[in-house]
Amino acid sequence: MKRIVIFGSTGSIGESLLNLVKNDKKNFNVELISANRNYKKLLKQAKYFNVKNLIISDYNSFIKAKKINKNKNINIFNNFTSLKKIFKKKKIDYTMSAISGFYGLKPTLDIIEFTKIIAIANKESIICGWNLIKKKIQRFNTIFIPVDSEHFSIWSLISDMKDTNIEKIYITASGGPFNKLPLKKFSSISNTQALKHPNWSMGKKISIDSSTMMNKLFELIEAKKIFNINYNQIEATIHSKSYIHCMVKFSNGLIKLLAHETDMRIPIFNTLYYKSKKKINTKKIDFKILNKLDFQKINIKKFPVMKLVKELPKKDSLFETILVSVNDTLVENFLQKKINFLDISRILLKILKLKEFQKYKRITPANIEQIVCLNKYVRLKINKLCV
């Protein structure tokens, strides 16, 4: 049986993974699952999958879970320092890191030494702490697999090729809900409109990031780091159907592309069954979409955050932490109706030009504490501006 761990099991990625495990229960032993506040769902998952170890990050939720849990075989912990107690000897087979936000960075780093494979769905970990992750996966000989559909697709296409053979990588963007909306109407965009993604069912934060195209900028940063390429080797392009997830042009003249339906089960399934012949039931190839792929350039006037690609540092730096922190805070303020839709991009571009933040382009993250402290500082500063 494969021994697995799921960080963020109550979220969409975690639930999708557990549904796959449910269909093949005899081959998996779920040894640890985690949540922040949703302790009721976590306890239900623990009961169904016979999970012995739970981590509940929020202290009040942790206390409530301890009170109502009657199963003496379940160990409930409040933080990830307990990993050393849980995994003392043999490495587990697979870990899914799907905790959203900066909270996912430390658990991701902490689990690497205890797992043979780590599948990472947490953007902040890769964008802000990739150099730290890379060191640990190399040190402990852990296999890393990206979970985002775009990065999993790239990883699949180039896994048997050398970095030097990659000429250009194209990742696709649906264009979100506003790709065809006239620019003059952007000033009246509401929260409800911004949350309606045309192809994917996602959480509020990532839905807003998709509507501004910030999510695609983040994916370019992730791809640059994961695949060790330069920003001039990667580009985002609009593909409204989200059927093609990436294209790679190689120096030998070959062009490869990867397609699959808009279902996150597919990349998740392929990380779980890495190097396996297991099958997943999916729809037939959609030739109607393939016959009308219709790739388009991104309209920079509609999505000005994409201009930032040219201003990103070549090497891993703390500037990426600032970028993520500023955007996260502005999205929160938009969802709370403190700023309007256009303010997200406008304030973001203005803030990032400040000398106070530009200097961080020259500083490489030394440890996780540095990233966490900078995130807190930036969030406080931006919140004051939005009052």
Tell me what pLDDT residue 120 has.
97
So where are the chain's domains? Answer: 2-147, 148-264+277-310, 313-387
Sheet with 166-173, edge to edge strand ranges: 234-238, 166-173, 244-250, 255-259
| Confidence band of 140 (pLDDT split at 50, 70, 90) | very high
- φ, ψ of residue 319 to 5 degrees: the values are -65, -35
Assign domain 2-147 to its CATH superfamily.
Answer: NAD(P)-binding Rossmann-like Domain (3.40.50.720)
In angstroms, the Cα distances linking 309 to 156, 179, 301, 315 are 24, 19, 15, 13
- Burial state string for 33-69 with b = 16 or more CB within 10 A and e = fewer than 16: bbbbebbebbbebbeebebebbbbbeeebbebbeeeb
| Composition of the chain by helix, strand, coil, percent to 5 | 50, 15, 30
pLDDT in tens, 146-197: 999 999 999 999 976 666 689 999 999 999 999 999 999 999 999 999 998 8
pLDDT in tens, 320-371: 999 999 999 999 999 999 999 999 999 999 999 999 999 999 999 999 999 9
Distance CA 186, CA 270 (A): 38
- Looking at residue 176, its amino acid is G
Tell me what pLDDT residue 161 has.
64
Tell me what pLDDT residue 163 has.
63
Model confidence, pTM: 0.94
**Rounded mean pLDDT, 212-232:** 96
Per the CB < 8 A criterion, the answer to whether 148 and 170 are in contact is: no
Tell me what pLDDT residue 164 has.
67
Q: Which residues contact 188 (CB under 8 A, 6 or more apart)?
A: none
| Confidence band of 59 (pLDDT split at 50, 70, 90) | very high
Q: 387 pLDDT exceeds 70?
A: no
Q: 299 pLDDT exceeds 90?
A: yes
Query: CATH number of the domain at 313-387, please?
Result: 1.10.1740.10
Per the CB < 8 A criterion, the answer to whether 4 and 252 are in contact is: no
| Confidence band of 202 (pLDDT split at 50, 70, 90) | confident
